[in-house]
Structure 1
Amino acid sequence: MTTTPTTTTTATASTTGGTSATAGSTATAGDPPVRSDTKIAVLLREDLEPWQRLNVTAFLVSGLGTDLPEVVGEPYADADGTPYLPMFRQPVLVFEASKETLTAAHGRALSRALPRSVFTSDLFATGNDRDNRAAVRAVPADRLDLVGLAVYGPRNAVDKVIKGARMHP
């Protein structure tokens, strides 16, 4: 896909997790935070340009909510009743690592059969979804030139997958 710099907001949160208040939520300010037993992690190759990091992150997490509906919370609404789309129930933690660490993390995600999405360097040169899928399909898993990986699963399994990565600055 041909990508150009876009305005994308990516939020990260502490590794202690938590949930967002949603429309209809009964949580109050005094309630203790809920620690999720699952984790969403995005691992980016450390040599990406800032706009590429945002773009890759947005693409990587876009599939999680469609394929794993349990990760998406209820719709939001403001005090005026204006509706907003639902978001993930838990934080999305963004990490960075070397190409070698990213490749190793991909192998660990595959061996654990965790839900995952990939973004390869080839996708920066394509212009549409069909060509994106063809670019990934053309390369064996162990030869993908990964620039990003998103993974979802039990906290401890995800932590093992992203071992060696560091929180994105």
Structure 2
Amino acid sequence: MEFSTKFAIAVADDLASWQKLNVVAFLTSGVIGDTNDIIGGEYKDASDRQYSSLCIQPIVVLKSTRARLSTFLQRANSRDVSSAIYIEDMFKTGHDAANRETVLQYETDALPLVGMAVRAEKKLVDKIFKGAKLHD
């Protein structure tokens, strides 16, 4: 199936593996939370056991330096593309309200980004994340 949109996540390449996985999980939820048409139907196995619905679209996971993440966010903002962000401070918080409070402490250009995600038209996402590499 061809999609007119692309769902991509860029993560700082210097994070520990558990941190990268945590960032990807949170950012995925951010994009899905903002998108009405991205969740498919429930799954069912041959034993008639039901499973939760999943995202209908593949997600590209990229890696980048932290400095490039700021560039990617600037590109998304200049194109009015909604972004999900994750900053370094969020590793030290324990709940959503604290996460939002810590983000509020920074101006956009000073956010200590460790990850960001967008879903938009394919060419636009490619322009935003130009310079990122596929995560290995």
Alpha-carbon displacement from aligned partner over 1:8-59 (angstroms, at most 9, x marks no partner): xxxxxxxxxxxxxxxxxxxxxxxxxx11111110000110011100011001
Match of 2:68 among 65, 84, 101: 101
**More deviation in 74-83 or 36-45?**
74-83
Give the secondary-structure state (helix, strand or coil) at the position aligned to 2:37: helix
Unaligned regions of 5+ residues in structure 1, if any? 1-33
Match of 1:80 among 25, 40, 47: 47
Alignment of 1:106-145 (within 5 A): 106-145=73-112
Alignment of 1:7-18 (within 5 A): none
Structure-2 separation of matches of 1:46 and 1:66: 25
**More deviation in 54-63 or 106-115?**
106-115
RMSD: 0.9
Unaligned regions of 5+ residues in structure 2, if any? none
Per the alignment, residue 24 of structure 1 pairs with none
Per the alignment, residue 120 of structure 2 pairs with 153
Identity %: 38
Q: Which has the higher helix share?
A: 2
Per the alignment, residue 133 of structure 2 pairs with 166
Match of 2:38 among 67, 71, 82: 71
Structure-2 separation of matches of 1:73 and 1:110: 28
Q: Which has the higher strand share?
A: 2
- The answer to whether the 8 Å contact 1:43/1:97 transfers is yes
Structure with more contact order per residue of length (Cα contacts < 8 Å, sep ≥ 6): 2
The number of residue pairs the alignment matches comes to 136
Larger-gyration structure (1/2):
1
Q: CA deviation at 1:64?
A: 2.0
